Amino acid sequence: MSRVLKVAEGQGDLFGTQELFPVRRPAERVRPVDLSLRIKTGLGQALKECPDSAEIIAARISEMTGQRLSGHTLYTFTAPSKADRQINLVEFVAFVRVTKALWLWDMLVEDDGLVVLQGREAKLAQLGFMQQQSKALDDEMRALKRELSAEPVHVQRRPGGRS
């Protein structure tokens, strides 16, 4: 599904490491059931990793959304057997913010071939892109200079003695 882009032998490493950002291709076919299960599994993992209890998380989500939510409701969002209970988008955004499980965004978009970058990662990716653009311009300018230097310049004299 995802692979990590590696720097070729002898090539400069823009980011200071050998492994760069994951490179993904969109999935050929994603079934809604698979996505639902992955979201439920991700939410469950985020609940386990968060130091706060489900009740505290639910209370904070309720504050953010203005909708009453309980810890029990959060657990139903994670239960594969409760296929009819899905977290809605507003609750998902609040859940990610409260649990600080930003990796859930990446999990959500990986089937589309996307990678979520934040902060320094995003700036490094932007810098790498700009360096690629700069190199492409430099290559074009060198090619143009070679082309121009290959032909001698013929200066034509104007009538009246001026060049």
Phi, psi of 104 (to 5 degrees): -65, -35
- 40 and 106: one domain? yes
Span 119-141, pLDDT tens digits: 898 888 888 889 989 999 999 99
Give the tens place of pLDDT for each residue, 42-77.
Answer: 999 999 999 999 999 999 999 999 999 999 999 999
Same domain for 101 and 123, yes or no, is no
Looking up residue 94, the CATH number of its domain turns out to be 1.10.260
Task: With respect to residue 143, please indicate whether it lies within any of the assigned structural domains.
Answer: yes
**One domain, residues 34 and 107:** yes
Summarised one tens digit per residue, pLDDT across range 73-119 is: 999 999 988 888 899 999 999 999 999 999 999 999 888 888 888 88
Domain count, the chain: 2
β-sheet bridge partners, residue 19: 6
Final residue belonging to a domain, choices 112, 131, 157:
112
For residues 70 and 142, membership in a common domain is answered with: no
Q: What pLDDT is stored for residue 30 in this prediction?
A: 63
Q: What's the confidence (pLDDT) of residue 81?
A: 87
Q: Do 67 and 103 sit in the same domain of this protein?
A: yes
Q: Which domain holds residue 133?
A: 117-149
pLDDT for position 99: 97
pTM above 0.95, yes or no: no
Average pLDDT over all residues of the chain: 83
Per the CB < 8 A criterion, the answer to whether 38 and 87 are in contact is no
Residue 158 within a domain: no
C-alpha dist (Å) from residue 90 to 47, 97, 116, 154: 17, 11, 19, 70
Statement to judge: residues 92 and 143 lie in one domain: no
